[in-house]
Chains A and B, each alone.
Chain A
Amino acid sequence: MGAWVARNKWSVTLAAIVLVAAYIFYALSSGTALSMYKYAWSYAVPLVLCALVGVVGERSGVVNIGIEGQLLVSAFAGFFGAAYSGSLLVGMLSGIGCGLILGGFLAWTTVKWQMDQIIAGVVLNIVATGITSFYYKPGQVLPALMPHVSIPGLSSIPLIGEVFFKGTGVIALVAIVAVVVIHIGLFRTRWGLRTRAIGEYPSAADTAGINVIRMRLVNVTLAGVLAGLAGVYLSMDSTSSFERGMSAGRGFLALAIMIFGAWRPLRAAAAALFFGFVTATASQLQTEQIINVAPQLVGTLPYVMTLVVLAVAAGKVRAPGAVGQPFVKGDKS
């Protein structure tokens, strides 16, 4: 633990400062602070999940530009699955299933058939738009609201407990667990060592007896579960409706967050929270009429922020070495 802090001293210091600032704000105006942080976290949840999809894919050497499409189809399937079956569980499962299927599609085309990864992802997005536009039926409602829970003990911690563990949706909790599990998984386990190896230098992994193709297939496909959860969260948890194009570029924001987070789950989660907080601040300033900017322009804030963040972060962080390149067996260069 001590070594870990020493290695990440800047991140830890920054996190500590942010935390202290947050508590000061909370002490000054607990109501406003709490609502802003809750807003920030609910905005960040799908971004965190999608950024993890990106991290797992790129750490394995596969660019996933199709997260946006996975998100959209999962949101669609989750909402209509629940609306038609009358069961939230069926909805969730169909959303997750769609994330998985599309993840499998991307994995198969890019890893097995060596299709250009960017083009495959963009095609996936267009297909997602096509399917969800055509089959969209207005006027459907969810059978019930998604259950919200409070974790005993944790939820009574001031601020942090209240934001993350009090009256929170299951998916938001899963997101927290997923960040921690994938972070530890990547850097502490055999799976992580092998995943990083196939994403950095696949032929080294291949000659060490690791099945690169199969591992990429499995990783990219299974990461689809997280995209599915994010989609379900969008249409069933943070709102209770599906709209055409409701993913609204979140899949791409998530990729920017992944880059900003240097392909590390914890940092990506922090970056997503930062995005959430900036959005929350803008909306708060808007409602309190402190600034007077048209809501349409305020709505573009996350996208503008993405451009700025990428322009700043690019060149300072390093992508996995083999990302974007198909692996051909026996090709050792």
Chain B
Amino acid sequence: MPHPSARPEREPAEPVTPPAPPDSPAPGGPGDGPGGLLAAIFRYQSVVVILVALLGAMAIGAALIRYQGVNPWYAYETIFKQALFTSDGLTRTLAKTTPLILTGLAVVLPLRVGLFNIGGQGQFLLGAIAAAWAAYQTSALGVLAIVVGVVVGILFGAMVGSIAAILKTWRGVHEVITTIMLNNIAAGIVWWLVTGPFQAPNAGGIPQTHEIGEAARIPTVAGIPLGFGVAVVLALVCAWMLKRTTLGFRFDTVGKNRHAAGYAGIPINRVILLAMVFAGGLAGLAGALEVHGVMHHFEPAIAGTLGFDGITIALLARSNPLWTIPAGFLVGILRTGAAGLQFATGIAPEIVDLLLAITLLLVSIPVLGRWIFRSRAHKVSAASTSWGS
């Protein structure tokens, strides 16, 4: 029964910073003083909602697993054992968690300005392939190739993100459509690159790029991949930025009332662009770290379903950057453990897609909170977006 305790264990790590209620318009407002008690109750409420959603998803998942002829208790036990308690399980889980936190943040930041970035996948892919190429080209630089790869990865991700932002601000095209289109375009481009210009000749026809140099690989220190540290630090930085800086105030004002932001003299288009550049940069960084820290080359399968997992994580985290850490870790556990599950029971690893989809469904349905708390005032919808411009 490792699961139910897994989340609460990680939660106490956070309240170092004062309770920042998630994006939901809790009547308490940003808790920073006497209103904090009310905010804390609401925060507690949404934690309960999330836990109920998770347990509900696990229960439905258990029924589905049983239907496949496998003991669900054994299945879940296998997942968590494989992910946490095997020799290198925790390391692999943390390595999996790294891009999940980052792609989660890539959804959270735009959500705070009222944009829904579905484009993490494309931003990740182009960031990753650009990093792989740049790092290979600069192998001679040794360790510095890491810097080159990471910077190039961030830039390419940010570039993809900025296209959606520009189309949004310049032409009013909805970002959900543009980012999805950019995902498909990115997929086409990387396939073309790995089967053409960037294909490693010595890979025996497998569509992938050259291996990057030994020195350009990001190591794992004491069982913790360095990339994981970077992701955690960035989550903290994002949370701090939103809470403490004037830039964060601009983000939230644009997200909560765009008209008032314009009235208050906040440059809305620039804020939207910045949010999408940050988002793209984070997803691109995730791609670069995956190349430097895990794969050491680029292949199209590198992205898996990371972009979409990022959406799940962001909604689980209620658009709070700090919460992407436990949410990312949970998804990381499931993804890592699923491979072992297939080995042990034959259940396809896509069971995780299903589990996450059900979780997402349950967390995002606003009435769940209403059912639990019977409160009319509390709107549980994690975020709201805008259609049109």
Q: Residues of A with Cβ closer than 8 Å to B?
A: 63, 65, 68, 109, 113-123, 126-127, 129-131, 133-134, 136, 248-249, 252, 255-256, 294, 296-297, 299-300, 303-304, 306-307, 310-311, 314-315, 319, 323-324
Contact = CB atoms under 8 A, between A and B. Distances in A.
Given A126-B360, A127-B358, A119 B381 contact: yes
Nearest to A299: B188
Given A324-B386, A324-B388, A296 B188 contact: yes
B372 interface: no
A118 B355 CA distance: 21
Contact of A296 (B195, B382, B385): B195
B203 interface: no
B367 A307 contact: no
A129 B353 contact: yes
Contacts, number: 139
A303 B366 CA distance: 33
Contacts of A314: 171-173, 389
B249 to A, nearest CB: 23
The 9 A-B residue pairs with the shortest CB-CB distance, nearest first, are: A130-B357, A324-B387, A300-B188, A296-B192, A130-B353, A133-B350, A134-B350, A127-B357, A303-B181
A306 B311 contact: no
Interface in B192-243: 192, 195-196
Interface string B362-389: 0011110000000000000111111111
Contacts of A324: 386-388
Given A136-B350, A311-B167, 4 more contacts: A123-B360, A129-B357, A307-B173, A324-B387
B350 A115 contact: no
B360 A127 contact: yes
A310 B171 contact: yes
Contact of B387 (A113, A252, A294, A323): A323
A137 B315 CA distance: 30
B147 interface: no
Interface string B336-366: 0000000000001011011111101100111
A297 B381 CA distance: 39
Contacts of A315: 171-172
B118 interface: yes
A116 B383 contact: yes
Given A314-B171, A323-B387, A306 B196 contact: no
B116 A119 contact: yes
Question: DSSP majority for the B interface?
Answer: helix
28 contacts: A68-B180, A109-B365, A113-B365, A116-B383, A116-B385, A118-B387, A119-B381, A119-B384, A121-B176, A122-B118, A123-B357, A126-B311, A126-B312, A127-B361, A129-B305, A134-B348, A134-B350, A248-B184, A296-B189, A297-B189, A297-B192, A300-B188, A304-B181, A307-B185, A311-B173, A323-B388, A324-B386, A324-B388
Contact of A118 (B116, B184, B389): B116
A211 B183 CA distance: 40
Contact of B185 (A118, A131, A300, A311): A300
Contacts of A136: 350
Contact of A120 (B177, B350, B364): B364
A119 B386 CA distance: 10
Nearest to B197: A294
Contacts of B173: 307, 310-311, 314
Contacts of B382: 119
Nearest to A114: B366
B42 interface: no
Nearest to B111: A119
B5 to A, nearest CB: 26
